[in-house]
Amino acid sequence: MSLTGFMLAFTGIIIGLGVADLLTSFHKLLRASGRVRWDWLTLLYAAYMLFGMIVFWWWQFGYPGEGKTLTVLQFLPNFLFLALSFLMVASALPDEVPAEGLDLREFYLGTVRHRWGLLTISLFANLIGLVWISLRYGAMDWIGIPLVLICALLSLLALKWRSAWFHALVLIWLFGVSGASILMRAIGP
């Protein structure tokens, strides 16, 4: 097995667990739909988390590259992103629906610090990674770095400003930036 295949197997397990957790939580909501007060913002956030996992999976193709070696220390930043991605996805939807029912807007508002805090940490970590890679290889990413900085700052604002429409606009922005960076990126030999 190549180093890339070895790394993709581990990455695939973590991403698969996150996607399975999200889909299982969504399935539980569907089964208890009579006891669930649905909320578009919670579902938009969950959709972004699912899309984010797909983007992360796609981005991993070719990491760390054929013929290269990799130390645990070199892998730790990637593991940080994997762990944060899993935690973000796991926070998107409730794990259970209580017998008395569940209001997804209340769930969303009650978990804003947790979910947007993880997203903010992830975006700032991504920003640090982009700057590090740009400095290391001497080629500054003049598009990616400002876009990720804007995303991180908007996410930070979403922690403080709890307007549903502001959160929705930030999520739409994040969908756009993530999608623009990966939707047309082909993988394979």
pLDDT digits (tens, 9 = 90+) for 53-99: 999 888 887 676 656 788 888 889 889 999 999 999 999 999 999 99
- Structural domain includes residue 77: yes
- Structural domain includes residue 188: no
- Structural domain includes residue 106: yes
Q: Which DSSP state fits 33?
A: G
**Structural domains in the chain (count):** 1
pLDDT in tens, 139-166: 888 888 999 999 999 999 999 998 999 9
Q: In angstroms, rounded to a whole number, what is the distance separating the alpha carbons of residues 18 and 82?
A: 10
- Structural domain includes residue 143: yes
Q: In angstroms, rounded to a whole number, what is the distance separating the alpha carbons of residues 21 and 126?
A: 23
Q: Where are the beta strands (DSSP E) in 7-80?
A: 36-37
Give the residue numbers spanning the domain of 120: 3-182
Residue 45 to residues 19, 21, 148, 151, 188, Cα–Cα distance (Å): 14, 15, 18, 15, 30
